[in-house]
Amino acid sequence: MDRRIRDAFPLPAERPDFAPFSWKLDGGGRDLILDLITSRDVRVMIEVGVLYGGSALQWLRHKTDLTLIGIDPWAFDADQVRYWWGNRHAYGIDNLDAGGLSDDAFLNQLLRPEAAYFATISNLWDFRDRFVPIRGRSPEMLHTVAALGVVPDLVYFDSDKELVDLDVCRASWPSAIISGDDWWWSPEGQPDAYPVQKAVQDFAAKHGLTVMNHAATWYLAPGAAAEV
């Protein structure tokens, strides 16, 4: 990994004073990504949409020479946090390991100023040698990463659902595996919209790629026929 990206996005000097926890928003099918990480010997991965680092922990624990560049603005306000917590069963409370905090302590921690960023850094602190947090938005930050000379093996999108970033990703790193989450996501009131499916299938058709999918997870493989 080029030193320039580490130097451009340094970690705090010490672990932030937030009790670590693990909460992944896992809609299923992530074995597809874990298998790719192993079979394609992925060493540099970009995750767009890190939230509190639950999925980042999945990737980093899976392969010990994997470096993860995580892009997220980490800018949730209190209303957003309360919304997630209020809907925690829909957001996969089964995937929460609160690190021994009570429900009240857990919520209070998330409501502290700048908790989104600093709790995530604390959650990933044990992996700080292999985790580069980039506080900002995609696609802008994808350009920044490319300009720093980084060439990822795999990019995983778990952020907004329009996926305007796909073109930037392909143009910057033609060989990188493009993947993501939210295959079955639709906005409230539009149950059959599936914007991720549409964006991914259009992109695959344009570039002659094959869509592979299991549960919420998808990736694009070389090949002409799109199949799901």
Ligand X SMILES: C[S@@+](CC[C@H](N)C(=O)[O-])C[C@H]1O[C@@H](n2cnc3c(N)ncnc32)[C@H](O)[C@@H]1O
Binding site for ligand X (CB under 6 A): 24-26, 48-51, 54-55, 71-73, 137-138, 158-160
Token output for 116: 């989104």
Helix spans in 40-194 (H): 54-62, 78-86, 103-110, 115-123, 140-147, 165-172
State which residue, 96 or 226, has the beta carbon closest to ligand X: 96
Helix and strand tally (H, E) in the chain? Answer: 9, 9
Minimum CB distance to ligand X, residue 134 (Å): 9
Distance in angstroms (rounded) separating the CA atoms of residues 214 and 228 = 8
- 46: helix, strand or coil: strand
Nearest residue to ligand X, by Cβ distance, number only: 49
What does DSSP assign to residue 119?
H
Minimum CB distance to ligand X, residue 223 (Å): 27
State which residue, 148 or 226, has the beta carbon closest to ligand X: 148
State which residue, 95 or 223, has the beta carbon closest to ligand X: 95
State which residue, 14 or 94, has the beta carbon closest to ligand X: 94
Minimum CB distance to ligand X, residue 120 (Å): 9
State which residue, 92 or 226, has the beta carbon closest to ligand X: 92
Cα separations (Å) of 82 from 88, 105, 109, 154?
9, 13, 12, 33
Minimum CB distance to ligand X, residue 192 (Å): 21
Residue 101: exposure state from Cβ atoms within 10 A (0-12, 13-18, ≥19): middle
Minimum CB distance to ligand X, residue 16 (Å): 17
Longest alpha-carbon distance in the chain: 52
State which residue, 67 or 138, has the beta carbon closest to ligand X: 138
Distance in angstroms (rounded) separating the CA atoms of residues 133 and 84 = 22
DSSP 26-39: --S-THHHHHHHHH
Minimum CB distance to ligand X, residue 177 (Å): 17
